[in-house]
A and B are shown apart, each in its own frame.
Chain A
Amino acid sequence: MRAAGESLAATSAESPAGSFDVRKVRNDFPALQQKIYGQPLVYLDNAATTQKPRAVLNALHRFYEEDCANIHRGVHLLSERATQAYEDARGKVQHFLNAAMAREIIFVRGTTEGINLVAQTYGRKNLRAGDEVLITAMEHHSNIVPWQMTCEEKGAILRVAPINDRGELRLDEFERMLGPRTKFVSLVQVSNALGTINPVRDLIAMAHRWNAPVLIDGAQAVPHLKVDVQELDCDFYVFSGHKLFGPTGIGVLYGKERWLEAMPPYQGGGDMISSVTFEKTTYNALPYKFEAGTPNIAGTIGLGAAIDYVNQIELDAGAAHEHRLLVYATEAVSHIPGVRVIGTAREKAGVLSFVIEGIHAHDVGTILDQLGIAVRTGHHCAMPVMERFGVPATTRASLAFYNTKEEMDALSAGIHKALEVFR
């Protein structure tokens, strides 16, 4: 897998031949086999959600057909099997992120819920009037709004580190904005709207010099980059299962044990308690303190299967393949007259966002759809990013390792078609 330090140019110089067999991999994804209006589906909306391999679908099916039971309380065999599968998935996530302990892995609905959990528990407990929370100008709404809510409640100040015209974080400004009042830093590892990879390890080290804990939004990072939370030394890390070839409605919050222990629970209910009387409730130990109610058991097991899947295919080669496609498509698309690529960071993963002069992104999206090409058009839940670049919306093609060079050519041809319709 590509490490966050490699440059776009260096990777593009690699030989196109690799051990990665994209044809074989595509056969693992039933949804990719279909036709759209009689043409092969070209799925380039992977930053919104990824398609699911058969192994994940089978795991979901198997759970409901054979092991369906509630977890952590039944004495019967089905409950035992379900509990085992659920906790096995936690172990898979732990190894995937290289977390020190399984109890540092909390299952949530997705990235959004993970960030809200931290803002509502750590944030509400620790932020005081005049304290500062630092985010960046390339955050998804899910890493803006939860902090706005907590800051408003506590009288804290939300500060935003700026980006440059390439869509890169201005490191000098980021460092300058840190200080004794910075009590929390929350930032994205890979931008969903621009594809920019932030040098999060360095940024975390900068924040730690001011003793500010750091949350990393890894939603767009985990499908493309190898993540080691201990090596990054992040305090929290969140991602969504469905962007990692797993089911929707399941995600992960990693937190360092010492923070999680000190944080109050997020929601009250079953499973998060060890004893309840009407006078007093004693909360359960980690990770269960943060998992109130019956969780998404099938989704968790599906996520475990997705992690097994990405571990068993050669993901290093897969990520390199995907990155070559990104470089190839960026080169082709940016040479089409009237096309402007939005987000030209030196370090990028998975995203090609662009605007076409005189054609609104929504019209581009409809024309591409007619050719079987699925892209996202709009503001990508990052309206401040759109404002920064002075565009109301972009067309975003986002890649996964199962995409092909032919699909990149189809995208270029689709853009030419849009230009022809609007000529």
Chain B
Amino acid sequence: MPDLKELYQQVILDHNKNPQNFHKVEDANRQAEGYNTLCGDRITLYARLENDVITDVGFEGTGCAIFKASASLMTQALKGKTKAEAEALFDKVHKMLTGELDPSTQGNQLGKLAVFSGVCEFPVRVKCATLAWHTLKAALEAKNEIVSTE
């Protein structure tokens, strides 16, 4: 039986309650929206990319604890990373969420993001944990900079 404590680790519960970078990035030059139709998770992701390096990233939205904690920890992990490094990290996170990578035996390349390793036992929740990452990818791949509406 999958263990609820493995899924809802304290770090996840803390980030759900107090998400980091949970705000709009005023000077963002990348932006994308993500939506999970299954449960209604909704995110707007903002990033500032300078010379291929993510200098700032933040998000707004509503959703479940797994989604919110994932977006929060993702933004923390991304600052200072290049676009290629961010994409490589998503690849590792994705492998962990689908059970292809076990952070406890395969080195701690994931840092704090390893707290999501329990999600692979809950297949319907994988989408919750990957939504922010997919949205990040869409934001980074956008060819044109978002024109500010303000």
The reply to whether A393 and B1 contact each other, CB–CB distance below 8 Å, is no
The reply to whether B42 and A392 contact each other, CB–CB distance below 8 Å, is yes
Interface size on A, residues (CB 8 A): 19
Choose, from A97-105, A339-347, A361-369, the stretch at the interface: A361-369
A341 to B40, CA, bound (A): 19
**8 Å CB contact of B39 from A37, A359, A377, A422:** A377
Q: Name the distance in Å between A362's Cβ and chain B's nearest Cβ.
A: 4
A249 within 8 Å of B (CB atoms): no
**Residues on the B chain within 8 Å of A379, using CB:** 40
Q: Given A361-B39, A386-B40, A392-B62, are A370 and B1 neighbors across the interface (CB < 8 Å)?
A: yes
B65 within 8 Å of A (CB atoms): yes
**Residues on the B chain within 8 Å of A360, using CB:** 39, 63-65, 67
Residues 72-117 of B at the A interface (beta carbon under 8 Å): none
Residues 351-408 of A at the B interface (beta carbon under 8 Å): 358-363, 366-367, 370, 377-379, 386, 392-393
Report B31-49 CB contacts with A as 1/0, cut-off 8 Å. 0000000111110000000
A38 within 8 Å of B (CB atoms): yes
The reply to whether B13 and A422 contact each other, CB–CB distance below 8 Å, is yes
**Residues on the A chain within 8 Å of B122, using CB:** 366
A363 to B16, CA, bound (A): 11
The reply to whether A378 and B1 contact each other, CB–CB distance below 8 Å, is no
A341 to B87, CA, bound (A): 42
The reply to whether B40 and A392 contact each other, CB–CB distance below 8 Å, is yes
The reply to whether B4 and A393 contact each other, CB–CB distance below 8 Å, is no
A421 to B16, CA, bound (A): 12
B136 within 8 Å of A (CB atoms): no
The reply to whether B1 and A37 contact each other, CB–CB distance below 8 Å, is yes
Report A237-255 CB contacts with B as 1/0, cut-off 8 Å. 0000000000000000000
**Residues on the B chain within 8 Å of A370, using CB:** 1-2, 4
A146 to B142, CA, bound (A): 34
B66 within 8 Å of A (CB atoms): yes
The reply to whether B66 and A363 contact each other, CB–CB distance below 8 Å, is yes
Q: Name the distance in Å between A415's Cβ and chain B's nearest Cβ.
A: 14
The reply to whether B13 and A393 contact each other, CB–CB distance below 8 Å, is no
Which residue of chain B lies nearest to A383 when distances are taken between CB atoms in the complex?
B40
**Residues on the B chain within 8 Å of A422, using CB:** 8, 13, 16, 65
A363 to B17, CA, bound (A): 13
A19 to B125, CA, bound (A): 43
A393 to B62, CA, bound (A): 10
A386 to B39, CA, bound (A): 12
Residues 11-34 of B at the A interface (beta carbon under 8 Å): 13, 16-17
Which residue of chain B lies nearest to A386 when distances are taken between CB atoms in the complex?
B40
Q: Name the distance in Å between B14's Cβ and chain A's nearest Cβ.
A: 11
**Residues on the B chain within 8 Å of A378, using CB:** 38-40
The reply to whether B4 and A392 contact each other, CB–CB distance below 8 Å, is no
Residues of chain B touching chain A, judged by Cβ–Cβ distance below 8 Å, are 1-2, 4, 7-8, 13, 16-17, 38-42, 62-67, 122, 124-125, 128
Give me the 4 closest cross-chain CB pairs, A-B, nearest first: A360-B64, A362-B64, A362-B39, A37-B1
Can you list 25 A-B pairs with a CB-CB distance of less than 8 A? A37-B1, A358-B17, A359-B65, A360-B63, A360-B67, A361-B64, A362-B39, A362-B128, A363-B64, A363-B65, A363-B66, A366-B124, A366-B125, A370-B1, A370-B4, A378-B39, A378-B40, A386-B40, A392-B42, A393-B39, A421-B8, A421-B13, A422-B8, A422-B13, A422-B16
